[in-house]
Structure 1
């Protein structure tokens, strides 16, 4: 699974790392023994969480079924008459073969460096299909954000465990950290335009001001702390409206929350608040120094702070930085549309934005209609309401009787799949359904399909789909 800021959509020079999380599908984590029933125990390696002596957000992993993976076997150790899997030994075996002069160990990851700009982090981990009990309070907090269907998706997809222990825990070399990377990406994609820009501006602040000139060991704040602050501010409804006009206020509120955390020495994990992510690093003299630095920025005020550090000057007019031009006074809906173009293209799939079936393709979109329909909404909402792609049918599976001849013909021509424009498919299904329940409503649907097939010039249907579109029109006419 790709993770990190690159997957989130950032393309910052010297700072958009690409992370990879790797795991074996025949290895699974469970939270209690009753969950064994969902797995084939003689084929899969099962590990049981033992959080009894670990700090919040961390756990020991007890081996229940051995499996055949040699790295799991080599990393086992005996404690209190139970067999556990060591995180440190796992890192040693997993990364020893990869280490070279172009790689470094970075926490639970091994980092590959190519030149000065490209960095890839690889983390071997375990997957868990169940939501952590220690994170159940997060579900109860989700009243206004994220939306219920997003919460359900996140919980349904469980979590992961990466090979790193808590530095002040009793079993640092043996513990595993609970990773919510998959859930966090889902949350970032549910941000609206202004929330995402606020997050991006804070990342620039961290990279170009707070951590500028510091070694990796001296950096107390990370982009993960920044992201956590944005999550908390959004969920706690600190701001009534996230919009471009309030962008600097959004930025300032998040900055003040980070300042408060540094002062208190407490950064609560978004999913498990009992997990203080400052505990092992932001304390003592280092905490005092960081607070003085941030408080100095705070005392100067937002306007002078931004002017002095030139974040606005360097990035508001740069179209490659996710349209941070919306920070300026001449904000227009064009910036949000341009941003959406980048996002939709980034997902590398043949997508067609739809607005009441009247507009498609970002290059030809009616901007007023687009903004009216989905302007200011989250990316996930936009993708549900405004995106479609060709329908792909497996020709070995028959879905609709009217399409069987076309699928059989395609198979004879060695074509494994049939691709149909979603617009053509929609009108076809309307016609077929209305024929059985309301024949009068089938007539305008047929007219819409005829108009689309006869007069569209590649705007709503790809030219390569024209043949199947004509065949479908002929089929429903019969």
Structure 2
């Protein structure tokens, strides 16, 4: 039992209040977790619609609710390739799968393994090296290199070791995706811990029993201290670790967050090459050991400072020994090959400052202004030196960020799905989309609450895609839209505030029924509250200055309802070209041969016509009212289109909106203003921009 000085009680209570103020409380932890579980559900059920076998898990600090705004934690995603399976013995061989036999011997470091390729038709060893991703060892076994998982990555991602990384921007969390192969059962090295009968109460028997039901997997990365790193696979017990994290109380969660803040502030700093020698995973592991070694009754608010000190001392002992044992596999040293002798001395020196100091080391933490907040709580200073968010502001900011990311996930999931079938015939595209909606219908009928919510978010986007594909064919044949297409478009109306309605309006515009278009646009404008609605684009990593206050205020947690305060960008694929006004069709041909050389690996969206909802709404109004001979309303629409660039900070396709405005200016016989729009557009995106064509065309028309 700790001996706790009296003043520690007061400091602990004030410290607990501070971390509560920055969003570390039961309510916000559950918001983080529910959002992560919903995102992983969306990513899992969608691939299954066309037969792909992959289960997605969101892991790490965000999914655990063990982060704050200031910690800027990324999203860790585990993609389990279910058509592969790693077995421990021959009895687990499974037909219809790519089977690999796990090998752990004296040559493999603890926590790592080799994978032996097996035949797909029988539980027998494979005997042929089919390509460079396989190699025959001295025993004649065909081993699988960890390079077998391809380098192809979704748009915006970059390869970093075993993961695909997506950088953070304001309002958008960073993301890491790790592709893994699932294990049929737990490796013996980790199973020993779960089977061990111990007297301490944590993890409980129930927690161990549940952990046994979770998947182990292997990750395509070798040990840093191994000579055979390209053949080794790291064994991951992430889901069991998530189980333990979900069973922590709020005090233990707060201690973990404080540990991360302390090590980020005092240990992982620039003169150590700016590397995180003490990782969040090490902090988590140390916390597990500390919880397992101390009575449960000490982990409470009034004792938070003492518990934090104990965890720091435990980490110091790990650094001193050069060994931080994995919680499920004690032979696996998480520090192996990561801390040199020189770095170890530096770390110990820094750690000694933390251990020898009293609680004042907390005052130096600038993350989320924790140090200043604590000093105010302790009446050591009167006020903060600058404006910082109050507790309700933190709640709004976190909730808004979570929901925005969830919207981006649903839009990106839909985009990736449609993009992957770009080379299919129109008939096959329609068949796949219909199968997908049927797939969602079954999930909505028979699934759990998360699956039902995911379907409510995703299904409308696919319904609109079906309606648009059919309508494009209808327009090409007889310039009308069939009742079937209209029914599908109607079913997709509530995907968000505007994009599906604008796609519907665009389709009707291309048939020439301007009165009907005007009605749809008028209704859409009523739904689009410019003080609240946030534009949302997933085509690339859009930089966001800030989120609208109205949006943040209305972001009460309801995952199924938030779509009424976001507006996705409007996307048209080449097979929908008959649904696109000619002014927007230029965007499908934005790239010259030279421009193509300057595209990123995942700039495929540039082959499509994509525009933000609000400028497209005003553009369509301008064109529609012009056709209806309603000049006053037409000029109002033009004024609104011009004002968009001043009022909307987070447009994803500002250059496209400028290109549309420029063409409106040409129609107004204002070529100088049109050229100015195109030039500004080019400054925003110098390459792969249709503005080049518009400038040439505008100059040619002016001269002629």
Query: Structure 2 length normalisation: TM-score?
Result: 0.42
Query: Where do 5+ consecutive residues of structure 2 fail to align?
Result: 1-56, 122-128, 380-390, 405-443, 448-704
Distance 1:55 1:276 in 2: 9
Deviation, 1:176, is 0.3
Q: Cα 1:160–1:245, aligned 2, differ >3 Å: closer, same or farther? A: same
What secondary structure does 1:235 align onto?
A: helix
Q: Cα 1:234–1:18, aligned 2, differ >3 Å: closer, same or farther? A: same
Match for 1:258 among 305, 310, 315? 315
- Decide whether the 8 Å contact of 1:28 with 1:128 is kept in 2: yes
Match for 2:186 among 131, 135, 159? 131
Distance 1:16 1:315 in 2: 20
- Indicate the structure with greater strand content: 1
Q: What is the correspondence of 1:61-460 to structure 2 with a 5 Å cutoff?
A: 61-66=115-120, 75-79=133-137, 80-87=139-146, 89-91=147-149, 94-95=150-151, 97-98=152-153, 103-115=157-169, 118-139=173-194, 140=196, 143-213=200-270, 218-237=275-294, 240-301=297-358, 303-309=359-365, 314=370, 394=446
- Computing the radius of gyration from Cα coordinates, the structure with the larger value is 2
Deviation, 1:256, is 0.6
Q: What is the correspondence of 1:1-20 to structure 2 with a 5 Å cutoff?
A: 1-9=57-65, 10-13=67-70, 15-20=72-77
Structure 1 residue aligned with 2:388: none
Deviation, 1:26, is 1.7
What secondary structure does 1:295 align onto?
A: helix
Q: Cα 1:128–1:8, aligned 2, differ >3 Å: closer, same or farther? A: same
Distance 1:220 1:278 in 2: 8
Structure 1 residue aligned with 2:656: none
Match for 2:112 among 33, 51, 58? 58
RMSD: 3.4
Distance 1:223 1:394 in 2: 38
Deviation, 1:106, is 2.8
Deviation, 1:136, is 2.7
- Decide whether the 8 Å contact of 1:131 with 1:159 is kept in 2: yes
Distance 1:3 1:316 in 2: 31
What secondary structure does 1:23 align onto?
A: strand
Q: Cα 1:105–1:290, aligned 2, differ >3 Å: closer, same or farther? A: farther
Distance 1:171 1:196 in 2: 38
When the two structures are aligned, how many residues end up with a matched partner? 322
User: Does 1:46 find its partner at 2:99?
Assistant: yes
Structure 1 residue aligned with 2:9: none
Distance 2:130 2:69 in 1: 37
Distance 2:153 2:445 in 1: 41
Deviation, 1:14, is 5.2
Q: Cα 1:159–1:291, aligned 2, differ >3 Å: closer, same or farther? A: same
Distance 2:332 2:130 in 1: 27
Distance 2:130 2:219 in 1: 14
Larger RCO of the pair (alpha carbons < 8 Å, separation 6+): 2
Distance 1:104 1:286 in 2: 28
Q: Cα 1:216–1:22, aligned 2, differ >3 Å: closer, same or farther? A: farther
- Decide whether the 8 Å contact of 2:269 with 2:275 is kept in 1: no
- Decide whether the 8 Å contact of 2:145 with 2:230 is kept in 1: yes
Q: Deviations over 1:122-179 (max 9, x none)?
A: 1111011312200133221654112222211111223111011111124111100001
Q: Cα 1:238–1:283, aligned 2, differ >3 Å: closer, same or farther? A: farther
Query: Where do 5+ consecutive residues of structure 1 fail to align?
Result: 318-324, 349-391, 396-478
Distance 2:64 2:232 in 1: 28
Deviation, 1:49, is 0.7
Q: Deviations over 1:57-85 (max 9, x none)?
A: 00001111348xxx996622211211111
- Decide whether the 8 Å contact of 2:114 with 2:231 is kept in 1: yes
Distance 1:8 1:180 in 2: 15
Q: Deviations over 1:24-53 (max 9, x none)?
A: 2121111111222xx22xx11111111112
